[in-house]
Structure 1
Amino acid sequence: MLKHFFKGVIICLILCGSFVTSGSIGHTAAPKNKYLVELTNFNNNIQNSLIREGFTIVDHYSLDQMQFALVSSDNKGIKELKKVPYVKKAEADQPVKAMGYSQMIPWGIKNTGAVKLRGKGCACSIAIIDTGISDHVDLKGRVKAKVTYLYGKEIKGEALDNSKVQHGTHVAGIIAANNNGIGVAGMDPQANLLIIKAMGDDDKGYLSDVSKGIAWAIEKKAKVINMSLGIEGNSAILENIFKKAYDKGILMVVASGNDGGNVSYPASSPYVISVGAVDQSNHATPWSNADKRLTIFAPGDSILSTVFKKDYYYMSGTSMAAPHVTGALGFLLPKYNGPQNGQEVEWMKQRLRDYGDPVTIGSGKNKFTVPSLNIYKSYYSLK
């Protein structure tokens, strides 16, 4: 679930790069020496003076009262150019290149150790039940199937994220943003995403749509289902669906809630992996729901991920913590060799707990410890 704030947009100069162009760029052969010159004036006498000294005027332009020229020469250097009358300043013309796109590894990917496990994911099918997904440049090739179940209606092959905060797209980026040198990288850039849009533009939906989305994900052979959502009260029908998925060994990862209380439903179901949020210091955030039923903590404070078609926002919430665990499970799935039933779910839970970093909650008699995700240690069985 999304905590009710987000922190700005990464300035395009950082993530999108910056570049300089002027007019069209051709492919003609360049002279041996080119120089940018500031002149005291520009007239025929000055042009003739440059030509006499062996320089060719390639271009000339002015800015307010300042006069500039681009000159070239095959055999004269800058020392000779600076001696020419009317030349105030001269310097070699330098190549300018686009800064290009730079990639940032979000702190959650670093702190969980996922960045050290690049290439070790299982390329498994991971379902996301949320607000859909935008056609983001950093998620290109990751989505394998989409469907919308909204207000009882079904739209096959479509799941466009029209929500104002791009909740579903942000979750998808945390799990699987491409490791392509731009924007951000996700927990498992090899993951294959199955997108179920079950919440509308207002980030709200219905239990019936979510339950149908789970059934679709199971039919599509999803190994993990991410649900960064919550409902008021419990649901016996949803619990039966969870049990059915559990019995098939399907891992359902659910955000614990953001009101600072006990783990909310459906994260409180015994058939799911419930996830609370920690900050960069590995302390539980004050707004994260947590009690002894919580399976694990994961990064959820100020998480940078994908939104819209090419943007990136910081968001906070257990909604951001859950997909860290979802992506991490892609590393552990190949290590499991047992039956495809509830034993697989319990094995995964135990593996996450045994090698996580301890986080203490409460004080005195109410104090308890819940591990925080460290997928590197879980992968290699390191204490």
Structure 2
Amino acid sequence: MALKKNLIHSLVAAACAAAALPAMAADYVLQAAQWGAAQDAAVQAAGGKARFSHASGVAVVESERADFLSQVLASGAIQSGAPDRVAQFTPNVKSFDMPVDASGVPAVISDAFYPYIQWAPQSVKAPQAWGLGYTGKGVRVAVIDGAVWGSHPDLAANVDTAAARSFVAGAPGSCQVKWDCDTGTAWHGTHVAGIIAAPANGLGVVGIAPEATIVPVKALHSGSGSFGAIISAILYAAGEGRADIINMSLGADFNRGDRDAAELVAAMNKAINTATRQGVLVISAAGNDGYDLDHSGNLITTPAMSGNGLAVSSTGPLGFAMGATNTRRISSYTNYGSSMISVAAPGGDFALEGNAPCMLPRANGSPVVIPCWAFDMVISTVRGSGGPGTGSYSWMAGTSMAAPAASAVAALIKQKYPGASVGALKNMLMNSTDDEGKKGHDPYYGRGFVNALKAVSQ
């Protein structure tokens, strides 16, 4: 039981609230009505240098001067600012890895995980949408997260490596600053990318939008990152990255009374709202702490409660490997609240008691035997330990897994209606849900559970 508890704590992936860690004193997030030559000059005169700036009026700046912030605010060209802050936006993940054979190679040989083990695509009726020709083809989904292993054989065909970027600061050439490098073998961003767009290529898993394009934008390393990196990633993805949809399976909690945190959250709001004005739908994970965010007092969960994007809660079965079909059951850990939750999607769970083994088949190869509760989580692509061109698979659970499922359904809609505005895309996603829980908009499901078939049949 202790082993299971340890795994559970590490498998509640992403959107996990965590205490803020101290940031580098040289980094600041600044806001102005707009950003141009006057703002650049003010920053330079105060002894700073812009690391990233955007015409909308948000910039990430570095300076070695202790009085930089007071000096730049005194210029009159900058409206507000705060020292940047690093936080643990996702936990360090210990995944439940795929079994390996005697040679040490993951025992993965076909898309057979899809019909027998991948319950999430079926739960949102993705196969029926594919049957109508909607696979996300031509739609670009930015994954703002940790690293995406772009050479994974079950992802590579759908990853735009040319548009991939990292906004994580670090020593030039280090793993930290590379978009396709992270710590460990799980790589949260790689798992998220597979849920969205793992191709139907005869390998391990199939994404809900299996022909969508993934734009990897790294803002976290080993689960932690700064507000400045995430804000820069959002604005890049919405502009040069040419994203149609941004997925953020990340989050942290802050006190509204913390002045600097409030300023950083305001800058996050501005970035998300700017992306929306540029025609990009932003979708975020709701969080995994079981918080009632309608009655959270001074607590704010960002980016789920930031700007005008959508927040996604999680569902998952209890005993899938033993025949349970309750894939729309609310996950035991998900944050909730009518004021925040827009829709619900499959994120998995781990609440089944005990460690009894269960066995499920694959179309090819030997059956998979793991603890029954692990099958209730979401299986997807991960880094693994091999070299380029290799990869592996793991199960994870969290609103981090639910958000990309919703993003993928949005991609199917965008394929059908490529000219749809953000407002229209939001409405089509929410209006096509299945009304679960209490009738109408409720705290756990929001407008309802996403339904790919209904979404593309509008």
- The answer to whether the 8 A contact 2:314-2:347 is kept is yes
Counterpart residue type for residue 213 of structure 2? N
Q: Is 1:278–2:366 an aligned residue pair?
A: no
Q: Paired residue for 2:220?
A: 199
2:283 is paired with a residue whose SS is strand
Change (3 A) 1:112 1:231: same
Structure 1: stretches of 5+ with no match in the other structure:
19-98
Change (3 A) 1:10 1:366: closer
Q: Paired residue for 2:142?
A: 127
CA distance, structure 2, for counterparts of residue 368 and residue 254 of structure 1: 14
Q: Paired residue for 1:294?
A: 341
CA distance, structure 1, for counterparts of residue 233 and residue 106 of structure 2: 38
Counterpart residue type for residue 249 of structure 1? G
Which of 413, 427, 430 is equivalent to 1:350?
Answer: 427
RMSD, aligned CA = 2.8
* Per-residue deviation, 1:319: 0.3
Counterpart residue type for residue 132 of structure 1? A
Higher Cα Rg, which structure: 1
Counterpart residue type for residue 159 of structure 2? V
CA displacement 1:192-219 (0-9 Å, x = unmatched) = 1111111112x00001001111121122
Q: Is 1:215–2:231 an aligned residue pair?
A: no
Q: Paired residue for 2:55?
A: none
2:164 is paired with a residue whose SS is strand
CA distance, structure 2, for counterparts of residue 272 and residue 369 of structure 1: 14
Residues matched between the structures, number: 292
CA distance, structure 2, for counterparts of residue 368 and residue 113 of structure 1: 17
* Per-residue deviation, 1:154: 8.1
Change (3 A) 1:257 1:353: same
- The answer to whether the 8 A contact 1:279-1:300 is kept is yes
- The answer to whether the 8 A contact 1:267-1:274 is kept is yes
CA displacement 1:267-288 (0-9 Å, x = unmatched) = 1235101111001321111210
Q: Which moved more, 1:233-242 or 1:285-294?
A: 233-242
The within-5 A match list for 1:204-353 is 204-218=224-238, 219-233=240-254, 234=262, 235-263=265-293, 264-280=301-317, 281=326, 282-292=328-338, 293-301=340-348, 302-308=377-383, 309-336=390-417, 344-353=421-430
- The answer to whether the 8 A contact 2:336-2:443 is kept is no
Change (3 A) 1:367 1:319: closer
The within-5 A match list for 1:65-80 is none
CA distance, structure 1, for counterparts of residue 157 and residue 407 of structure 2: 19
Q: Paired residue for 1:42?
A: none
CA distance, structure 2, for counterparts of residue 366 and residue 242 of structure 1: 23
Q: Paired residue for 1:11?
A: 99
Counterpart residue type for residue 246 of structure 2? I
Change (3 A) 1:284 1:161: farther
Q: Is 1:189–2:181 an aligned residue pair?
A: no
CA displacement 1:273-327 (0-9 Å, x = unmatched) = 1111001321111210111121100000000000114211110000000001111
CA displacement 1:312-344 (0-9 Å, x = unmatched) = 1110000000001111111111343767xxxx2
- The answer to whether the 8 A contact 1:6-1:316 is kept is no
* Per-residue deviation, 1:169: 0.6
Q: Paired residue for 2:5?
A: none
CA distance, structure 1, for counterparts of residue 110 and residue 417 of structure 2: 38
* Per-residue deviation, 1:265: 1.9
Q: Paired residue for 2:119?
A: 107
Q: Paired residue for 1:378?
A: 455
CA distance, structure 1, for counterparts of residue 401 and residue 215 of structure 2: 18
Q: Output the TM-score relative to the length of structure 1.
A: 0.69
Q: Is 1:138–2:154 an aligned residue pair?
A: yes
CA distance, structure 1, for counterparts of residue 210 and residue 290 of structure 2: 32
Structure 2: stretches of 5+ with no match in the other structure:
1-12, 17-90, 255-261, 294-300, 318-325, 349-376, 384-389
Q: Output the TM-score relative to the length of structure 2.
A: 0.58
Counterpart residue type for residue 112 of structure 1? V
Q: Which moved more, 1:132-141 or 1:353-362?
A: 353-362
* Per-residue deviation, 1:12: 4.2
- The answer to whether the 8 A contact 1:131-1:162 is kept is yes
CA displacement 1:161-194 (0-9 Å, x = unmatched) = 4233310110011011110111001111211111
* Per-residue deviation, 1:232: 2.9
2:157 is paired with a residue whose SS is coil
Q: Paired residue for 2:62?
A: none
CA distance, structure 2, for counterparts of residue 358 and residue 176 of structure 1: 26
2:137 is paired with a residue whose SS is coil
CA distance, structure 1, for counterparts of residue 443 and residue 248 of structure 2: 29
- The answer to whether the 8 A contact 2:200-2:210 is kept is yes
CA distance, structure 2, for counterparts of residue 154 and residue 127 of structure 1: 24
